[in-house]
Structure 1
């Protein structure tokens, strides 16, 4: 059964880091990789996917996370694969980190989903819609407060 965690992001986190959600998603991907999990990080757009790719390349060597954009890297992808809506990930992965504004219809193929509830009201409403979509798909849901720093 798939389990999803929605991390609630508050104004203070966004004030301290305007890209907090993206950085937190990358941090979650790194933690999952260190635990031996394969991750699919679904960006909201190709541009955001490229921004995530660049951010991960800029990490210190001790914190490096093997990753690639869909269509690049080894066959079957690296431990962390980055995609955007309209593409298909390269294979069975345990964790989906969703930064897109919609609930992907393939979320149930993952054992764990990470999603976010931003503080912006419009984006918060989109998160509620994703929550409902996951629930309708039979995914077990929980919420958690995002940490102050990723």
Structure 2
């Protein structure tokens, strides 16, 4: 059964770091990778995917996470693969981290789904729609507070 966690982002985090959600998603992807899981990080669009890719390349060598954009890298993809709505991940992956506006219809093929509830009212409403879509797909859902990352 698929489990989803919605991380609630507070306004202090968003105002302190305009890219908090993306940085937090990268932190979660790194944690999942270190636990031995393959991750698909679904960006809202190609531009965001490229920003995430660049952010991961800028991390300290000791914190490096093998990653690539979908269609690049080794056959079958790296442990962390970054894509956007018009692309499909390669191979079996345990964790989906969703930064897109909509719930992907393939979310049930993952053991764990990570999603976010931003402060902005429009984005919060989109998160509610994703929550409903996951629930209708039979995904068990919990919520948690997004915490600062090191």
Q: Give the TM-score band, short-chain normalised.
A: over 0.9
Aligned partner of 1:41 in structure 2 is: 41
2:27–2:149 Cα contact (<8 Å) kept: no
- Which residue of structure 1 lines up, in the alignment, with residue 104 of structure 2? 104
Equivalences for 1:114-129 in 2 at 5 Å? 114-129=114-129
Shift of residue 149 of structure 1?
3.5
* 2:44 matches 1:50: no
Q: Which residue of 1 aligns with 2:148?
A: 148
Shift of 1:93: 0.2
Which residue number corresponds to residue 59 of structure 1?
59
Does the Cα contact within 8 Å between 1:6 and 1:114 map onto a contact in 2? yes
CA displacement at 1:86 relative to structure 2: 1.4
* Unmatched segments (≥5 aa) in structure 2: none
Partner of 2:8: 8
Secondary structure at the aligned position of 1:122 is classed as helix
The answer (yes or no) to whether the contact 2:99–2:115 under 8 Å persists in 1 is: yes
- Scaled by the length of structure 1, the TM-score of the pair is 0.99
Cα pair 2:32 2:38 within 8 Å, conserved: yes
In the TM superposition, 1:90-101 aligns within 5 A as: 90-101=90-101
Superposed CA RMSD in Å reads 0.7
> Given that residues 13 and 149 in structure 1 are in contact (C-alpha distance below 8 angstroms), is that contact kept between their aligned partners in structure 2?
no
TM-score (norm 2): 0.99
The alignment of Structure 1 onto Structure 2 pairs a total of residues equal to 150
